[in-house]
Structure 1
């Protein structure tokens, strides 16, 4: 009997010990940065080319830098944190996150300067960096609140999908000297854009009440949450229906499996879900896309 009573306490203790490192991985954007690396890696796998290690580390570091800079913006910490454990964790670790952003940015900068194949892509990279930086950076003050690109009506999910597809498809294409208008590049870009768009709509559902209170018009605010889910599912279907050149039927089926997981995440999403649902599962679907591409490439 004493052993039976001790087991729940032991499991609770283990859970508490695991929660700290898991919180750090998820809320410091390390998991999300791994997803960005995974999607870029998947692009190289599609094209049967080894991903350059330097480029992979650069993308991981740059993503880590941008998302942590976004999380430590001063105006964000003047907002009410609400009941989100993620927001409270980020507020408590604001200065460590800023340090991570600076170190990651320095690593990305050094790797960029050291790569002769990346420097000619500077104009293209700058436009993606500008969109990423201005996404949350306060630009104008209206009705007593600072507004960023993400606050333009219905725009933020398209900005996210465009930047992620640009980083994970167009940068590899340009790095390899492939034209952006090449059918194989266009097809993969369209699939990636729609795939990320579907997942970005899940985060609109998560932030539905907060966005409404802050005056940001999003798809859940216009269409309602159920219709937004159908829109996200339609984006997933369109992503998988877009034909990829030189892909066999069995390979197409394997590549569709992450979207099945994504559809389940979308269907069961609502804003009262725990933070782990969004940070772990929704972002994790992108890593499943990498695993599917890895299987197809074998």
Structure 2
């Protein structure tokens, strides 16, 4: 049991799980927009997510002194380096316009972790995008919808049709809704200066906001030119599951509730479509 827990912790802490979620959402986008299978984008997004998330999470980790994390951290660092190499390999197979877009998102990720602006704009001793008051959830949503929708369209010379624009909006809304259980869970630990959504409007109103976002995520599907009945059914199931996750979110939930189950939602959606 202990070994299984350690493997699960490594799976989550090394960002494999969140990378699988990005892979799944990218795959769903390709299917929903009728873009031919682009495995290069899928693999690039997977390895880029691991690289980017681990860079953000563990940048400056040497300031910590938790010896129990040292060995795992070394393993994650080596693992991240391998994923960075694979990310570069798949990046070289992408089109030039895609590489320009990736550079933009890469800069956002870099600035998300690296101090670069005046302290008066920031929190405590940090000076990065991650700690700007109220900005974190929107930066994450922007990058997610960028790599899962805009990047696949760019790399396949696609047009930004009405369906594509709606999909961008849907993914942006979906990621914000997915982030709400995380923000509720971290309510007791986040600095007040972060001005997270639960800190601003309270847990009950945050949940109500989540339900509204889920409704928007689902019903804007009807504005698309190509509406698939089976796809609507799957999206309805995912919307209901997300509402349940939001409903049961609270400050006392353990990390597995959000970091495993909530983040697994795009994977569940992909599995429904595969089945």
- The normalised TM-score by structure 2 is 0.90
Q: List per-residue Cα deviations over 1:33-80 (Å, max 9, x = no partner).
A: 111111101111113344222222111111111111122211x55469
1:98 corresponds to: 77
Partner of 1:127: 104
Deviation at 1:266, TM superposition (A): 1.0
Residue matched to 2:24:
38
Query: Residue by residue, what CA displacement relative to the aligned partner does 1:6-46 show, whole Å, maximum 9, x if unpaired?
Result: xxxxxxxxx32321211111111101111111110111111
Residues 1:289 and 1:101: Cα distance change in structure 2 (over 3 Å): same
Aligned-pair CA distance for 1:104: 0.9
Look up the match of 2:127.
Answer: 147
RMSD across aligned C-alpha pairs, in angstroms? 2.2
- Which residue of structure 2 lines up, in the alignment, with residue 55 of structure 1? 41
Could you tell me how far apart the structure 2 residues matched to 1:283 and 1:179 are?
Answer: 29
Go from structure 1 to structure 2 and tell me whether the alpha carbon gap of 1:111 and 1:34 turns closer, same or farther (over 3 Å shift): same
Q: 2:9 aligns with which of 12, 18, 23?
A: 23
Match of 2:164 in 1: 185
Counterpart among 195, 204, 220 of residue 217 in structure 1: 195
| Alignment coverage as a number of residue pairs | 270
Counting only pairs closer than 5 Å after superposition, residues 270-289 of structure 1 correspond to structure 2 as: 270-289=250-269
- Are residues 209 and 275 of structure 1, via their aligned partners in 2, closer, same or farther at CA, if it must alter by over 3 Å? same
Could you tell me how far apart the structure 2 residues matched to 1:232 and 1:159 are?
A: 18
Are residues 245 and 289 of structure 1, via their aligned partners in 2, closer, same or farther at CA, if it must alter by over 3 Å? Answer: farther
* 2:231 maps to 1:251: yes
In 2, are the aligned partners of 1:65 and 1:105 still within 8 Å (CA)? yes
Q: In the alignment, what sits opposite 2:115?
A: 138
> Structure 1 residues 269-278 or 204-213, which shifts more?
204-213
Structure 1 251/59 Cα, relative in aligned 2: closer, same or farther at 3 Å? closer
Q: Structure 1 residues 144 and 130, CA, compared in 2 at 3 Å: closer, same or farther?
A: same
Contact 1:153/1:216, CA 8 A, preserved across alignment: yes
Mean CA deviation greater in 27-36 or 146-155: 146-155
Which has the higher Rg, Structure 1 or Structure 2? 1
Flag the 1:238–1:91 CA change in 2: closer, same or farther, 3 A: farther
Q: What secondary structure does 1:208 align onto?
A: coil
Is residue 200 from structure 1 mapped to residue 186 from structure 2 by the alignment?
Answer: no
Counterparts of 1:63 and 1:102, CA distance in 2? 13
- Contact kept, 8 Å, 2:44 with 2:91, in 1: the verdict is yes
- Tell me: CA distance 1:268–1:129, structure 2 relative to 1, closer, same or farther (3 Å): same
Contact in 2 for aligned 1:36/1:60 (Cα 8 Å): yes
In 1, the alpha carbon distance for the partners of 2:69 and 2:138 equals: 25
Match of 2:209 in 1: 231
Q: 1 CA distance for matches of 2:165 and 2:242?
A: 22
| Offset, 1:163 | 0.7
Question: How far 1:198 sits from its partner (Å)?
Answer: 0.2
Structure 2 stretches lacking a partner, 5+ long: none
